[in-house]
Amino acid sequence: MSAPVERATEMPKTLSFTVRSAVGASSDAIWEVLGDFGTEHRWTTSLEHCERDTDIVRVGTIRTCTLPKPLMGRTSVREQLTEYEPGEALAYLLEGSAGPFASASSRWSTTARPDGETIVTVEGFFTARNRAVPILVWPLARPMLRRLTRRVLGELEAFVVPQSKSAQPGTP
């Protein structure tokens, strides 16, 4: 009689992408907007409306947002802040699954540059539901998510830069 064959338990595969963009505003100006977790609908068209469950933004704060059109099988999202360092980074985890992904999370961080611009980095992390997702879905989903993120970063800059310039002394 042969011994039973043990199967190696395979860890779920994490898929990720990163998008970086130079924004023509100070890190402080960006964080006035970015750090107000739960009000993103003011500056991006990718969210129709958002609300948060706390008056003060902190780790554990949950935002609930309505999407203007379905994305990965969802018309709304609930996300919880898992990291919050004003002026540096924030990260959040999607409650539940997202289409072919068992979990999804994002991390936004900023790096001030000496020229007054700020590099904004957005990272997305997704756990595949099964082994087929990295092969069949991710090659299509990753470019779409990167395009969406670039658009959102452009909307952030379009919102922050005019506000930033009008807040400068001597600006009408």
CATH of the domain at 50: 3.30.530.20
Identity of residue 70: P
Please report which confidence band the pLDDT of residue 71 belongs to, taking 50, 70 and 90 as the band edges. Answer: confident
Please report which confidence band the pLDDT of residue 90 belongs to, taking 50, 70 and 90 as the band edges. Answer: very high
Q: Is residue 170 part of a domain?
A: no
Whether 125 contacts 14, CB under 8 Å: yes
Number of H helices, E strands in the chain: 3, 7
Averaged pLDDT for residues 152-159 = 97
Total domains in the fold of the chain: 1
Which CB contacts under 8 angstroms, 24+ apart, belong to 137-144? Answer: 137/99, 137/100, 138/15, 141/100, 142/15, 142/17
Distance CA 38, CA 120 (A): 18
Whether 38 contacts 51, CB under 8 Å: yes
pLDDT reported for residue 12: 63
Phi, psi of 80 (to 5 degrees): -115, 135
More confident position, 2 or 13: 13
Q: Is residue 9 part of a domain?
A: no
Q: What is the dihedral of CA 98, 65, 79, 57, to 10 degrees?
A: 170
Helix (H) or strand (E) holding 44: none
Please report which confidence band the pLDDT of residue 171 belongs to, taking 50, 70 and 90 as the band edges. Answer: very low
Single pTM value for the model = 0.87
CA–CA distance from 118 to each of 21, 31, 163 (Å)?
8, 10, 15
Q: Is residue 88 part of a domain?
A: yes
Residue 39 has pLDDT above 60, yes or no: yes
CA–CA distance from 2 to each of 7, 8, 9 (Å)?
15, 18, 21
Whether 80 contacts 87, CB under 8 Å: no
Residue 168 has pLDDT above 60, yes or no: no
Residue 9 has pLDDT above 80, yes or no: no
The average confidence (pLDDT) of the chain is: 90
Q: Is residue 97 part of a domain?
A: yes
Q: Which domain holds residue 46?
A: 14-165
Q: Is residue 35 part of a domain?
A: yes
Averaged pLDDT for residues 72-79 = 91
Q: Is residue 142 part of a domain?
A: yes
Q: Is residue 146 part of a domain?
A: yes
